[in-house]
């Protein structure tokens, strides 16, 4: 054991002493000159790799999600190519609050792949959506046999070509009063968290009209508000553990085994 540790330390020293060279590899989209104005809808607002790094998802302020697939070319294994694109969110208007809801994608989360399809969660300020991205063969219609009194029955043939399609499977809405700043898929791949400035909700992917509030830091008097939630993340292995950060620079650990409402954190990390 000691010999292995000494070997690892020596190897680390060798890597530290090497001069690492970083090279520009790839750019997605068109190059923009310094004096050229960029459309606001084209500005990327979210980026996320899937679990094995074979796919990359990007979201922009226009509500679009673009997927890239890793190239299978052994000569250039770090290159990604366009896979598909779909419109995830549209601009909406909240008539009760007289507030316009932007279509900007705040965050993208991949669910672990269990079949040939991909499942993604996307969110803007108010609404979370579950998308299924899959490939299916292109089918063409050809002339078939004629039966009866001139009745022609067409034949459907599958071709070698495939087309990629994105379908919205479920919508999770009307659960956040404030803007959603983060979503996080749990280790069980059945539940996920969504967080806004003052609350964190727990959802089941199969239920879109109901969620459980697990953190609520909103005071009775808003003038007594001292901090807001800035981000929330599930534990990578334990589905009952999660963490969230606050505007005061602290990180709080919550354990859903201790209480259904985790306003009282199990542990807090902060600078002394």
pLDDT at res. 168: 96
pLDDT above 70 for 154: yes
Region 259-265 average pLDDT = 86
Backbone angles phi, psi at 150, to 5 degrees: 75, 15
Q: pLDDT of 196-234, one tens digit each?
A: 999 999 999 999 999 999 999 999 899 889 999 999 999
**Cα–Cα distance measured from residue 104 to residue 181, given in angstroms and rounded to the nearest whole number:** 12
Instruction: Note the pLDDT of residue 1.
Output: 46
Q: Who has greater pLDDT, 7 or 177? A: 177
Over residues 183-200, the mean pLDDT reads 96
Long-range CB pairs of 223-230 (<8 Å, 24+ gap) are: 228/197, 228/198, 229/181, 229/195, 229/196, 229/197, 229/198, 229/199, 229/200, 230/181
Q: What is the pLDDT of residues 173-182, one digit of tens each?
A: 989 999 999 9
Q: What is the pTM of this model?
A: 0.81
Residue 243 has pLDDT above 60, yes or no: yes
The DSSP bridge partners found for residue 199 are 216
Among the ranges given (17-26, 110-119, 210-219), the one the predictor scored with the smallest mean pLDDT:
17-26
The whole-number average pLDDT for the span 68-82 is 83
Give the residue-averaged pLDDT of 50-71.
94
* CB-side neighbour CA atoms (13 Å) of 85: 10
Neighbours of 141 (CB within 10 A): 9
Report d(CA 48, CA 58) in Å as an integer: 7
Which pLDDT value is given to residue 134? Answer: 93
């Amino acid at each position: 054991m000691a010999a292995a540790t000494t070997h690892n330390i020596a190897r680390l020293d060798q890597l530290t002493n090497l001069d690492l060279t970083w090279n520009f590899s790839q750019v997605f989209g068109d190059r923009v000159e310094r004096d050229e104005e960029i459309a606001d809808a084209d500005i990327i607002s979210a980026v996320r790799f899937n679990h094995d790094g074979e796919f990359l998802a990007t979201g922009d302020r226009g509500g679009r999600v673009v997927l890239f697939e890793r190239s299978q070319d052994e000569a250039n294994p770090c290159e990604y190519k366009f896979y598909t694109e779909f419109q995830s969110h549209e601009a909406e208007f909240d008539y009760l609050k007289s507030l316009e809801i932007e279509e900007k994608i705040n965050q993208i989360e991949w669910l672990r792949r269990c079949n040939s399809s991909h499942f993604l969660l996307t969110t803007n300020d108010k609404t979370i959506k579950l998308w299924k991205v899959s490939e299916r063969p292109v089918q063409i219609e050809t002339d078939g046999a004629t039966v009866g009194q001139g009745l022609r029955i067409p034949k459907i043939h599958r071709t070698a070509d495939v087309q990629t399609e994105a379908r919205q499977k479920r919508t999770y809405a009307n659960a956040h009063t404030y803007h959603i700043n983060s979503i996080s898929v749990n280790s069980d791949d059945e539940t996920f968290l969504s967080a806004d400035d003052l609350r964190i909700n727990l959802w089941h992917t199969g239920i879109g009209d109901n969620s459980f509030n697990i953190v609520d830091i909103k005071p009775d008097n808003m003038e007594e508000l001292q901090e807001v939630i800035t981000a929330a993340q599930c534990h990578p292995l334990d589905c009952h553990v999660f963490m969230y950060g606050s505007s005061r620079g602290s990180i709080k650990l919550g354990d859903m085994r201790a209480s259904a409402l985790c306003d009282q954190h199990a542990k807090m990390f902060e600078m002394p």
